[in-house]
Amino acid sequence: MDNFEVIEKYIDGELEGSELINFEKLLSTDDDIKHNYNLSLEINNSIKEDDVIALRETMNYMYNEEETKVRRIPTVFAKRKVYYAAASIALLVATGGIVQKLAHPDLDNNAVYEKYYAPYDATVTYRSGNTEVDRILLKALERYEDRDFENALVLFEEVVSSHGDDMSVKLYTGISYMEEEKYQKASTSFSKIIVNNDNLFIEQAKWYLSMCYIKTGSDNDAVYLLKELINEQSTYTDKANKVLRDIEN
């Protein structure tokens, strides 16, 4: 479907599903699209039905350059007044980005967060220990794997108070904070991992810290971390690129 057809299909009541919802959202919020829609209505109302068909065929002809050598501008439209042609050209140029906007609607920070955030898998294995701290940590990981983040967090905090140098525990603690919507505390946990700079969880900490920044509206800080992940060719490079495109559009 080309750009001109999007507006015409809406006018004719032929848009459906998410395409209809996205167009109506754009129509209510985007002044340019509202102007283009009104212009299309004026054109359709100002000429006869057979001339509307001719106008649509002509605009399709103008839009699809590869067909310009084999398609002929309809004779009936060629005889119309010059201002009809000018209006059709203006509409064609002005609606150039509608299809792209419908296919890729703008996302706010919450939508970006929901699209890309997922808790880190519990990949670190701890042997059953003899100390009380070891037993607490095992229970914390069990709660974490069960997605019982509230109780996992209580146990992780207890471990951190005794073994604050365990970066993996700080990572799980930070993610548990995120699940409990305590983003400032989560950011503090991830920042400590990054500052330590001598552990295996720096990439993960940068990724989740960038998610915290997105959720709390600190876009500049998020962009900085995402670009670091991209430049470092980390395991999060592809995701970081996608997030950047979404929050910078």
Instruction: Determine the pLDDT at residue 70.
Output: 40
Say if residue 138 is in the same domain as residue 241.
Answer: yes
Q: How far is CA 139 from CA 38, 148, 151, in A?
A: 63, 11, 9
212 with 236, same domain?
A: yes
Check whether residue 100 and residue 116 sit in a common domain.
no
- Dist. CA 243–CA 115, nearest whole Å: 9
To the nearest 10°, report the CA torsion of 8, 12, 13, 16. -40
Among 105, 129, 156, give the residue marking a domain's end. Answer: 105
Instruction: Find the CATH number of the domain harbouring 230.
Output: 1.25.40.10
Give me the torsion for CA of 94, 98, 104, 107, rounded to 10°. 70
d(CA 6, CA 122): 47
Regarding whether 164 and 234 lie in a shared domain, the answer is yes
Considering the domain architecture, whether residues 118 and 238 belong to the same structural domain is answered as: yes
Instruction: Quote helix, strand, coil % in the chain, to nearest 5.
Output: 75, 0, 25
Rounded distance, CA 171 to CA 186, Å? 9
Sorted by sequence, the CB contacts under 8 Å of residue 16 that are 6+ apart come out as: none
Domain span including residue 120: 111-248
Do 61 and 172 lie in one domain? The reply is: no
Output the pLDDT for position 195: 96
Do you know the residue count of the chain? Answer: 249
Interatomic CA distance for residues 190 and 202, integer angstroms: 8
Name the domain boundary from 81, 105, 129.
105
Q: What are phi and psi of 187, to 5 degrees?
A: -60, -40
* Residue 134 and residue 226 in one domain: yes
pLDDT along the chain (249 residues), means of 10: 67 78 76 75 62 56 48 42 51 51 65 94 65 89 95 94 87 96 96 94 97 95 96 94 89
Boundary residue ending a domain (105, 131, 164): 105
Residues 101 and 115 grouped into a single domain: no
